[in-house]
Chain A
Amino acid sequence: MKKYIALVLALVLAFAVVGCETSEKTPSPTPDVKSEGVMTYAEYDAAEEGSQVVIETYVQGKQSWWDNKATVYTQDHDGAYFCYEMACTEEDYAKLVPGTKIKVTGEKGSWAGEIEVMNATFEILEGSYVAEPTDVTSLVGTDDLAKKQNQKVSFKGLTVEAYNGQEGKGFAYKNDQPGDDLYFQASINGTTVEFCVEYYLTNDTTDVYKAVEGLQVGQTIDVEGFLYWYEGANPHVTGITVK
């Protein structure tokens, strides 16, 4: 009997080792397998503005909920989708956390250059994925930056510029007072990017809002955020590190 048990244990151990080896060989992250009738990111990207789109994606950040409409930043393993004012109850909005998988049906639209899903409805699915930021520093000033639109991205080693050339001003309030969006400009290799601390995403109680309020012209910074677009790249900042 002891021999038999020892044999079984040995086999279990052997299978476990094989299992470990197999999992190590599995590429990560897993590519998205879309359900029937759901577009791949490439298909979404190719869809005409105004056409209906059906996507499966994962919530990466939440901007706002009001009047049964939710605006969220989402991304799958291939690309990102900004879902603007999806029909959403407050109860469902609470269920949307980073990683939540959702199926979204809506219209593809473009507003001031920002590609988004509008007039959408959604349902929550099983599954989770939280994207890591993609370093897009080398893409600043190139047309390839737009291909990363809405993704979670990072910029490394930028220099804070005087906001709109105003000497000594490292940032600006949208309304000249706290309690609304914040803007700052930072450059790399001679190209300046305008960043936005979107109040609905990260309000004035957050670390990032406070950090931007302390920015000084000439400082070197790393920035993380969602690559939003407004008449050009206008990332919505979620994190900032002053070097």
Chain B
Amino acid sequence: MRRFFAMLLALLCIAGMLSGCHGSRGLEPFEIPESFDMAQKHEITFWAKNDTNKTQTAIYQKAIADFQALYPNVTVNMRLYTNYGDIYNDVITNISTQTTPNVCITYPDHIATYLTGTNVVVPLEGLFDDERYGLGGSELKFDSVSRGEVIPEFLSECAFDEHYYALPFMRSTEACYVNKTYVEKLGYELPETLTWDFVWEVSEAAMEKDAEENFVVNGQKVLIPFIDKSTDNMMIQMLRQLGAGYSDAEGNIEIFNDTTTELLLEIAVHAKNRSFSTFKISSYPANFLNAGQCIFAIDSTAGATWMGSDAPLIDISEDKLVDFETEVMTIPQFDPENPTMISQGPSICVFNKSDSQEVMASWLFAQYLLTNDVQTAYAETEGYIPVTSAAQQSEQYTDYLAREGEDNAEHYDVKIKASKLLLENTQNTFVTPVFNGSASLRDAAGQLIENTTRACRRGDTVDAAYLEAMYDDVASLYRLGQGGASAAQRTELGALPTESAVLLCTLAAVWVLILIYVIFQRVKTRKNG
């Protein structure tokens, strides 16, 4: 009998070893527990992004302290980042070791890549609707918003692959911050809605220099009339405004089309004249705008506190600041009657863990970030808007909006104008399809403009042939159409090759024979003894 057990044990060990060779299974799917155990202690990690804005850090810290007071069994450890890309990279790195944070601020495009791991991100629809702990749940220790109070457009941005994988946290769009003083000095009047033609025309007019090689409009040696902070957004929005292809929901790449080529050839003209540049090539639009070295600065509404002569946050020395009137406008349009702009802003995702109680603690904290106090306080730090109707309609927030321009800090007019711009245009916003690889496609969209601009500054010829070659390079560099790529990506390895199977079986057989021999020798020794 013992011999039989020994054999069985050996075979089980070998089977275990062999199955372990072909990758780990990852986590089990999350299941909502019966209740949240307040006696069990949890330490959860929260990876967040601030905009180098200390008030935002303070709001997160207060939210954590308030949450911990309600749930003393949960400790939230925050780690702050200054850009979403770093959070994305760190999450990707930590998926394989199952050391992801519990909650993180992120973008749906990024979540789509996280999903390539097994059960890494918790689908939230079950939690949304849980009567006790869901949105507006009866057992919550705070005044939670109901599902109907989350702005539907924003919530729908968190749904892909037939699940909700995030909660919206804040929403913003892009705005064009205009040096109105210089536009008028050049003899132009700002239209009600900016158009691309207007921006290009004024930008070219601004390039005139005097005999001392100073630009006439600002009297300085430096002027880049038009700077775009995010060239990926620039390309995406231009294509959308023209109804041209970018991608579909299945991940088919449509960006390399004739409209893209026409747009890049137009951009090339202005890049060559140096009337247009990008953040990656020239640095922050806000710094140029505030120094009187830029006329049209396109940046997020979430960067409004850095824009304008009286901006509360300034990154250049005082002696470089120039006094001018700042106008906050929608991004340039091809069809001003039907303005279109991107919806962006951080969302919150909850990572799966082996302990469902820990996931519940994470969910409760994530949900807490949608409460009115957190939403209004955070939205007021920048040109964000709250993602719930409850917060948008709250007395605190409506009062805040009404006090536009009262001071150059909390009620800085450029910041509040930026928020109002999005509130008035929520129905004109769009998002791009989310799929595994959509983050790469977004990067590639920006790279097309970056490469074109750089080539023009170098003096290279940018024509249809150049662009065709660049499309191939960019498609290859970003592995477009290959389902994305990441360190954490789960790859289906397919069936084991025959040679490998034979080798592994042979190894197993040898081990079995060795064990049989050892057991046989022992039995023989005992019998003889």
A-to-B contact residues, CB < 8 Å: 49-52, 66, 107, 109-113, 119, 174-177, 179-180, 231-232
Contacts and interface: CB of A to CB of B under 8 A. Distances in A.
B394 interface: no
A177 B80 contact: yes
B457 A174 contact: no
Contacts of B284: 112
A50 B454 contact: yes
Nearest to A49: B457
B283 A112 contact: yes
B79 interface: yes
Given A66-B89, A231-B287, A50 B315 contact: no
A175 B80 contact: yes
A51 B82 contact: no
B283 A176 contact: no
B50 A175 contact: yes
Nearest to B282: A111
Given A50-B458, A51-B458, A111-B282, A176 B287 contact: no
A109 B281 contact: yes
Contacts of B273: none
Contacts of A232: 317
A113 B457 CA distance: 17
Contacts of A107: 454, 458
A231 B89 contact: no
A230 to B, nearest CB: 9
Interface in B297-338: 315-317, 320
Contact of A180 (B82, B320, B454, B458): B82
Given A174-B52, A176-B57, A231 B82 contact: no
A177 B281 CA distance: 30
A112 B50 contact: no
A201 B205 CA distance: 43
Interface string B100-138: 000000000000000000000000000000000000000
A231 B54 CA distance: 21
Contacts of B320: 231
A107 to B, nearest CB: 7
Nearest to A112: B283
Contacts of B57: 175-177
15 contacts: A50-B454, A50-B458, A66-B89, A109-B281, A111-B281, A112-B284, A174-B82, A175-B57, A176-B54, A176-B57, A176-B80, A177-B80, A180-B82, A231-B315, A231-B317
A193 to B, nearest CB: 12
Give the most central of B50, B57, B283, B315: most A CB within 10 Å: B283
A50 B316 CA distance: 24
B435 to A, nearest CB: 21
B454 A119 contact: yes
A140 B282 CA distance: 25
A contact patch SS: loop
Nearest to B317: A232
Given A51-B458, A175-B50, A180-B80, 15 more contacts: A50-B459, A52-B458, A66-B89, A107-B454, A110-B282, A112-B284, A112-B287, A174-B52, A174-B82, A175-B80, A175-B81, A176-B80, A180-B82, A231-B287, A232-B317
A66 B459 CA distance: 30
Interface string B444-467: 000000000010011100000000
A25 B446 CA distance: 56
A176 B61 CA distance: 11
A51 B315 CA distance: 28
Nearest to B450: A119
A176 B79 CA distance: 11
Contacts of B459: 50-51
A140 to B, nearest CB: 15
B458 A111 contact: no
A176 B283 CA distance: 24
Given A49-B457, A50-B454, A174-B52, A111 B283 contact: yes
B282 A179 contact: no
Please list the 9 inter-chain residue pairs (A to B) with the smallest Cβ-Cβ separation, ordered nearest first: A50-B457, A112-B283, A175-B80, A176-B57, A111-B283, A231-B316, A50-B458, A176-B54, A177-B80
Contacts of A177: 57, 79-80
Nearest to A232: B317
Contacts of B457: 49-50
B470 to A, nearest CB: 13
Interface in B159-177: none
Contacts of B454: 50, 107, 119
B64 to A, nearest CB: 13
Interface in B29-74: 50, 52, 54, 57
Interface string B76-92: 00011110000001000
A175 B51 CA distance: 9
A31 B228 CA distance: 43
A66 B88 CA distance: 13
Contacts of A66: 89
Interface string B253-287: 00000000000000000000000000001111001
Nearest to A172: B54
Contacts of A111: 281-283
A111 B57 CA distance: 27
Contacts of B317: 231-232
Nearest to A111: B283
Contacts of A175: 50, 52, 57, 80-82
A68 to B, nearest CB: 11
A231 B50 CA distance: 22
A113 B89 CA distance: 28
Nearest to A177: B80
Nearest to B50: A175
Contacts of A180: 80, 82
B276 to A, nearest CB: 13
A179 B226 CA distance: 35
Nearest to B320: A231
Contacts of A112: 283-284, 287
Contacts of A179: 79
A174 B80 CA distance: 10
A39 B236 CA distance: 40
Contacts of A231: 287, 315-317, 320
B284 to A, nearest CB: 7
Contacts of B80: 175-177, 180
A110 B221 CA distance: 15
Nearest to B314: A231
A10 B281 CA distance: 65
Contacts of B315: 231
Contacts of B89: 66
Contacts of B282: 110-111
A174 B459 CA distance: 38
A50 B283 CA distance: 14
